Chain A
Amino acid sequence: MLTKRIIPCLDVKDNRVVKGVNFLNLRDAGDPVELGGRYSDEGADELVFLDITATIRSNKTIIELVEKVAANVFIPFTVGGGITEPGQIGELLRSGADKCSINTAAVMNPQILAESSKRYGNQCVVLAIDARRTKGVKNKWHVTVRAGSEPTDIDAVDWAKRAEELGAGEILLTSMDADGTKAGFDIELTRAVADAVDIPVIASGGAGSLESCYDVLADGNASAVLAASIFHYEEYTVKDVKDYLAGRGVAMRPVV
């Protein structure tokens, strides 16, 4: 049986892991090479590295940092932030990434999803969606771009379906309303997207309690949960989360 995945996320700025609330007020959370190696050793199922300054397109130091992180990571490794063309995915795969996540560039030019999946396979093309609840409308979310700073009028569920048709192999779905608040995932958003597509959905934004991780997997139909703060600040280890979820009957890869 396929297990549900627990995925620590490294939001990286100026070669450091940082974490904010609702994408703002960033504070330092450690060294990406050290944290990546630690999570890999501690039984995380995947690792995500997001260059939140979106400088992958121009910055060799990010590529070098990806190489350094990857050297200690023996679990699937997703890299994203500032990817604007399929060739950059090739470069990141050569640097030790296994999957690449695309966000703003896919909204601006959806064909990047088709071109990338044709060249590298859809299993390595992750569409990242930063979604925000649309005020005044129940259970409706719109896509935001440029690290959440620009709203669009695109419906998040429609965009997920379109991205699947174009060739995305997975969706990394972040609730901007919940991100960094530790108040729990947006279950309705996650379920609306997960039920609309056949590709896996990674729920992100709001991980705080162990119960919230269970809820988004069991009720939100997510394939995986992504979390940052709770791991970086050592509130829970990956093992704590997995033991709790396994205890409640969720299929987990055991931590040795």
Chain B
Amino acid sequence: MIVVIDYGVGNVKSVTNAVKYIGCETKVSCDPADIESADGLILPGVGACGYAMEKLGGLADVICDVAKGGKPLLGICLGFQILFDESFEHGTFKCLGLVEGKVVPIPAGRTIPHMGWNYVKFPERMDLFAGLGDGKHFAFAHSYYAEVTDGDAVVAYTDYGMDIAASVQKGNIFGCQFHPEKSGVDGLDVLRNFEKYCKGATC
């Protein structure tokens, strides 16, 4: 069972539509008991970081505890950004601190938000992209990006006149700046790979 964490922020329905489509047993919940018993967690989110962290409230500690205990966790878009130490989106906000790095604005001089499909170059050892082959595009929609400084994290990048972290893996902790649930067949494959990883993991 994969639990999609519902903390009142974001396109939970889009994520659950995709997870159900790939035939995965899923539950939308904000109950710590569900989070603790899940095989894997998806942390979605759209909107601003400060608002999201406020809405997450006490669940932040629950998520950090289980993720550090080895439970697979996939953050998507804003859910990816709050995996890092802090965000500078409309202020300074402490985030989950599961991956070292910070979230800063995409520099001016290009169309912002970074909106649409961009090519993602991923290292072969990233579990989320297993079997996908080269030349894949994924759907982005964001104005801030993560500067990843964690030496234990593997990072996939996309080119937007600069390198932007598109996806990260640090052991059992995964994140995608793009929306796999909205990236067509390739995005569904990323979710299948996450499900596969969850089945193989011992929680």
Interface residues of A (CB under 8 A from B): 1-5, 40, 43, 45, 67, 70-71, 74-77, 93-99, 118-124, 169-170, 198-200, 223-224, 253-254, 256
Contact = CB atoms under 8 A, between A and B. Distances in A.
B118 A1 contact: yes
10 contacts: A2-B116, A67-B13, A74-B187, A75-B182, A96-B11, A99-B141, A121-B46, A169-B143, A223-B115, A254-B137
Most chain B beta-carbon contacts within 10 A, residue among A74, A119, A120, A122: A74
B59 interface: no
Nearest to B51: A119
B159 interface: yes
B113 interface: yes
B102 interface: no
B139 interface: yes
A243 B110 CA distance: 26
A10 B51 CA distance: 32
B11 A2 contact: no
A223 B111 contact: yes
B39 interface: no
A161 to B, nearest CB: 15
**Taking chain B's interface residues, is the majority helix, strand, or loop, or is none over half, making it mixed?**
mixed
B192 interface: no
Contacts of A1: 118-119, 159
Nearest first, the 10 closest Cβ-Cβ pairs linking A and B are A121-B47, A123-B141, A253-B137, A96-B13, A253-B117, A123-B113, A2-B118, A3-B117, A120-B47, A200-B115
B27 interface: no
B141 A74 contact: no
A96 B140 CA distance: 17
B184 interface: yes
B21 A74 contact: yes
Majority secondary structure, A binding face: loop
Nearest to B89: A121
Given A121-B46, A253-B117, 5 more contacts: A3-B116, A74-B184, A121-B78, A122-B113, A200-B116
B46 A2 contact: no
B201 interface: no
Contacts of A45: 116-117, 139
Contacts of B11: 93, 96-98
Contacts of B159: 1
B126 interface: no
Nearest to A97: B11
- In this complex, the member of A5, A71, A95 whose beta carbon has the largest number of chain B beta carbons within 10 angstroms is A71
A96 to B, nearest CB: 4
Contacts of B140: 2
A227 to B, nearest CB: 16
Nearest to A44: B184
Contacts of A97: 11
Interface in B173-191: 179, 181-185, 187-188
